[in-house]
Amino acid sequence: MTKLPNDINEAIAQAMEATKAALKDGYTRVQIEIVVPDIELQAQSLAKQFIPALLETTSKLKVFFPDSGAAALARRDWQDVTFKIEECDSLAIPT
């Protein structure tokens, strides 16, 4: 059984290893969610930490942010990336 992380850095490392293992096992879609109060303000910097590990395993990377504002900030700040940056709002099914 996996032990609970003691801090955010351990949580990120644990999530990164789990993500690599899932991609290695053939999963093509993974959701990485780290639930910590007030972490939304750090979403972009936390997501960026996963990019190198993800690019090691796949060339078809898309990074989704929870809303269009967060995605727009990432597009602005990550202009040199070769993958798509999307918002979860774009996945909404019209009613």
Decide: 71 and 43 in contact? Cβ < 8 Å.
no
What does the DSSP 8-state code read for residue 35? -
CA angle 48, 22, 38 (to 5 degrees): 40
Kindly tell me if the per-residue pLDDT of 74 is higher than 70: yes
pLDDT per residue as tens digits for the range 9-24? 888 889 888 888 988 8
Q: 13 or 37: whose pLDDT is higher? A: 13
Residue 22 CB coordination number (10 Å):
16
Classify 29 as helix, strand or coil: coil
Decide: 85 and 71 in contact? Cβ < 8 Å.
yes
